[in-house]
Amino acid sequence: MNIIKRNGSQASYEGDKIRVAISKANATVPEEERLTEKDIHEIEEHVRAVGQNMGRALGVEEIQDMVENGIMEHGAFNVARNYIKYRYIRSLARKTNTTDDKILSLIECNNEEVKQENSNKNPTVNSVQRDYMAGEVSRDITERVLLPEEVVQAHKDGIIHFHDSDYFAQHMHNCDLVNLEDMLQNGTVISGTKIEKPHSFSTACNIATQIIAQVASNQYGGQSISLTHLAPFVQISREKIRKVVLKEIEMLGISPEEEKINKIIEDRLREEIRRGVQTIQYQVVTLMTTNGQAPFVTVFMYLGEARNEQEKADLAIIIEETLLQRYQGVKNEEGVWVTPAFPKLIYVLEEDNITEGSKYFYLTKLAAKCTAKRMVPDYISEKVMMKSKIDKNGEGHCYTCMGCRSFLTPYVDENGKPKYYGRFNQGVVTVNLVDIGLSAKGDMEKFWEIFDERMELCHKALQCRHERLTGTLSDAAPILWQHGALLRLEKGEPIDKYLHGGYSTLSLGYAGLWECVYSLNGKKLTEPEGEELGLAIMRKLNEYTAKWKAAENIDYSLYGTPLESTTYKFSKCLQRRFGIVKGVTDKNYITNSYHIHVTEPIDAFEKLALESKFQALSPGGAISYVEVPNMESNIDAVISVMQFIYENIMYAELNTKSDYCQVCGYDGEIQIVTDDEGKLVWECPHCHNRDQSKMNVARRTCGYIGTQYWNQGRTQEIKERVMHL
């Protein structure tokens, strides 16, 4: 049995230390008020038993809470009082060096929480450690100076989650849609160097990757680009290649037919497109930004964005090549093709590609094949999105999310034109719905009362995010604010105007709707009473964002939070506050956003149909998924799911497995097993290799693919997922 120390490092549980601490407190009271030796041993044995049954390492604070409760349950209230006093004094002494301890523990790679905080960051790498060190300093300043005490305490208690507090000290925003079209067509500046409009497709791709890296280093969330913005450069390359081919023909003194000339041109063009797409694929995977990871970038593939039929045909070629290369994967250090985490791909299902016989159905079949092997692309339904994303002119729009799921709300500029690229999200604060449900103890009147209090707390925290960006000058991130990624402001110009009026969004996140509803009425979201209450809670969340938006002219929007490490944190906090409640806190994770619980047996089509009702009430971002087995031999079934998505839900994905053992060459599913200490670990079923550095594991984490492993809560969630198909 292990414990997590205050600095985040892991250590073996030592019952003697608990017994000594109790004995010291025991010795401070009169003999008639003391615990017996038997009492002390019972308290320690109870702590040990709870830890062994919990299925995860207990934190020191959790253990001390249990000790306090144990002392009081034995009636030794003065002993408990002195034990609490001792804890308080020790806590004051620790405040001077907590940050130092955390930094030192992460440098030595023994901080378990940091090691598993981000499934796409390797904590042993210097650049990642440097980012984490800066993050600890930023977090310390944020908690001591920048945020109200009630927000900080609520965050620590797991009542809310103030996302990315390790970046809050700087004037940085969350995620955005990069205006790649503006930067490529009108030029940009990268690291003080003027970049003119490219004269070929391959050059445009190379510049795009440099833009991606620069943007990633100046924000902390995801970004998205559209392949449509690269499509015009296909024709530029085509014309350039034609001149070269005609000159070669003239030099050779031959007169081939126009059809043969065109074939030579298109063959060479295809090769250039292949090289350009490969540049994006490999640069994104191999680039490392200033926060120590590959850029979190999403590539959008939407034929409907093309301005004419020629551009659409050229865009189709780019999409085809992108899918082919992702299907192939990238080589790991052993030279074996594996699944990369980025770039994330999104493919739009539309009238031109959704049915057999439609013009671009061949792309949809290729996308299905790619999804079955590499888990991407994910799918947006143009049909559903056009109905749900309506602007003030009454027109529907289809556009990509920012990163994995954060969607902008419809926006019309001063010229009456819709605008999405060049917009951004200011930040996220998430409410733990499960905590509200358990705090109400089944009393619905009490639930809504606590709900109102928590919403005001979230509102205060979100206002802090907005105020932190207010007054930010364009000089803080020239690539974003001055050189076209988002805007083209003058030097020294503040970004304030674009924090209001709907240009950017502020996200109210939510988590654990499934457990919240179950804690209130004992019903699941899959049951009529559970569904009804779940939808009522969602509507209430939207009422609050609408109220704040109307009062402040700031675009608050409801967001289905993609909890990664926080699912474990929330679970631990709930267990500390409420104990183990069957069906609610008996897992080391809580459910993301509105999702059906991962253990719930449900058909893929039923799941998507039900979740579509909740997704429609999460306008600031949401994604649904179905868990499927290896589908490489059943592409028709994948296409059936895609066609169902097109008709029924705006944004969804298929989760499968894509693993490789470097020890024995096994390329099936790497399994999760329990080791001798009760810890969940990854193991090759063929050679039983458990060395994570010698295996490639790719799993959908919460909208995006993770490849660097997860904490115990998320690992349990991955292990317990049931198949939907």
Task: Please enumerate in sequence order all residues whose Cβ is within 8 A of that of 587, keeping only pairs 6 or more positions apart, or say none.
Answer: 571, 713, 716, 717, 720
Catalytic residue among 9, 237, 388, 406: 406
Q: What sign has the CA pseudo-torsion 664, 669, 670, 675?
A: negative
Has 404 been annotated as catalytic?
A: yes
CA distance to 52, 508, 602, 628, per residue, from 45 (Å) = 10, 42, 41, 43
Has 402 been annotated as catalytic?
A: yes
Task: Please enumerate in sequence order all residues whose Cβ is within 8 A of that of 485, keeping only pairs 6 or more positions apart, or say none.
Answer: 176, 178, 179, 183, 188, 211, 214, 215, 422, 479
- Length of the chain (residues): 725
Residues 559, 639: contact at Cβ < 8 Å?
Answer: no
Residue of 373, 382, 409, 410 whose CA lies nearest to 395? 410
Catalytic residue among 83, 220, 347, 559: 559
Has 464 been annotated as catalytic?
A: no
Pairing outcome for strands 223-226 and 175-177: parallel
Residues 497, 500, 503, 506, Cα dihedral to 10°: 130
Residue with tokens 């000159």: 247
Catalytic residue among 172, 175, 458, 573: 175
Task: Please enumerate in sequence order all residues whose Cβ is within 8 A of that of 582, keeping only pairs 6 or more positions apart, or say none.
Answer: none
Catalytic residue among 66, 183, 401, 402: 402
Has 406 been annotated as catalytic?
A: yes
Which helix (H) or strand (E) element contains residue 696?
strand 695-700
Residue of 193, 68, 164, 139 whose CA lies nearest to 562? 164
Residues 684, 361: contact at Cβ < 8 Å?
Answer: no
Q: DSSP letters along 14-44, please?
A: -HHHHHHHHHHHHTTS-GGGPPPHHHHHHHH
Q: DSSP letters along 119-138, please?
A: TT--TTSHHHHHHHHHHHHH
Task: Please enumerate in sequence order all residues whose Cβ is within 8 A of that of 329, keeping only pairs 6 or more positions apart, or say none.
Answer: 337, 338, 339, 340, 373, 374
CA distance 679 to 676: 7
CA distance 191 to 633: 48
CA distance 363 to 355: 11
Catalytic residue among 172, 205, 301, 404: 404
CA distance 197 to 103: 44
Has 455 been annotated as catalytic?
A: no
Q: What angle do CA 273, 274, 275 make, to 5 degrees?
A: 90
- In the chain, DSSP finds a helix count (H) and a strand count (E) of 24, 23
Catalytic residue among 111, 174, 504, 588: 174
Catalytic residue among 136, 515, 564, 717: 564
Catalytic residue among 425, 504, 507, 696: 425
Residue with tokens 């023909």: 249
Catalytic residue among 221, 222, 560, 703: 703
CA distance 716 to 568: 10
Has 425 been annotated as catalytic?
A: yes
CA distance 68 to 76: 10
Pairing outcome for strands 695-700 and 658-661: antiparallel
Pairing outcome for strands 651-655 and 337-338: unpaired
Residues 532, 439: contact at Cβ < 8 Å?
Answer: no
Q: Which residues of 420-456 are buried (b: 16+ CB within 10 A; e: fewer)?
A: bbbbbbbbbbbbbbbbbbbbbeeeeeebeebbeebbe
CA distance 81 to 33: 12
Structure tokens at 504: 């950017």
* Residue positions annotated with a catalytic role: 174-175, 402, 404, 406, 425, 559, 564, 703
